[in-house]
Each structure stands twice: as structure tokens, then as C-alpha cells.
Amino acid sequence: MNKTIIIGNLTRDPEWRDINPELGCCTFTVAVNRRVKKGDHPEADYFRVTAWRKLGELCASYLTKGRKVMVEGTISAHAYKDNKGEARGTLELTAENVEFLSSRGQAASEPPAADDGGDGFTEVDDDELPF
């Protein structure tokens, strides 16, 4: 089974392409930060995402550079040669589901509205627990 879920930020605005009158696709790149930091910034992996048909139309209409998204789909690896003739590789994710995690007006550098400490957990005072 090939199922991948990534959460990250768009590195640039999405691009829409009409393949034919009934078919189109949207492509964009998502940067996914690693937990390991090098200097002041975390290292990142970059995934090229392709969303087809209606999902692609929605992504092209509402996503912009810096928006945080969750993408679920199948991943494939592609090899190619760059302009210098060197072998390169890329990961492409064909989207089955895309969740918009930040609002249109919220910049990628702004913290989310809920203060969860950045690790997904909210601190709770022991006196508030019912057991």
C-alpha cells in the first residue's frame, strides 16, 4: 500500500494547467520541516504535489505561497538529468485529499491561534483533572 501524509508550507503559488477541455491539474511544492535543526532553521524536504480535476481547481483558487497544508496521497520517485548532465531525483505526491491548515490572511510565520506550545499538546494543571 502506498499512502503518504505530509504537512508543510507552499514554497510558491500553485500553477494550473489545462490538459484538455475536460481535464486539468494543479502543481505546487510543499516544504516539510524536519525535527533536526541546522543553525537557526530546520532542514526541510520538498515534495512536488499534483492535484487533479476539482481538487486541483480548489487548490489553484485558494492556495498561495506560505500557506500551511496537509496533503494525503500516493508518492512516486522520478529520476532525471539536470542541465549539467548530473543525475537528480524528485518525489511527487499525487493528492487524494488536501486540507488547508492556515487561513488566507494568516502568514506562514504567524503562530496558530491556539497556544499549544508547538508540540501538539496543551499544558493542563493537575488540579483540573477529574481523577
pLDDT tens per residue across span 12-68: 999 999 888 889 999 999 999 988 777 777 788 899 999 999 999 999 999 999 999
Pair 89, 46: CB distance under 8 Å: no
At residue 81, does pLDDT exceed 70? yes
How much is the pLDDT for 72? 97
Q: What is the pTM of this model?
A: 0.71
Distance CA 67, CA 107 (A): 7
Per the model's pLDDT, the better-predicted residue between 101 and 126 turns out to be 101
Residues 6+ apart with CB under 8 A from 122: 114, 115, 116
Residue 126 pLDDT class (50, 70, 90 cuts):
low
What are the E-state strand segments in the chain? 4-10, 15-20, 23-38, 41-52, 68-81, 87-100
Q: Which fold has domain 4-128?
A: OB fold (Dihydrolipoamide Acetyltransferase, E2P) (2.40.50)
Average pLDDT, the chain: 83
Q: Where are the domains of the chain?
A: 4-128
The H or E element that residue 61 is part of is: helix 53-62
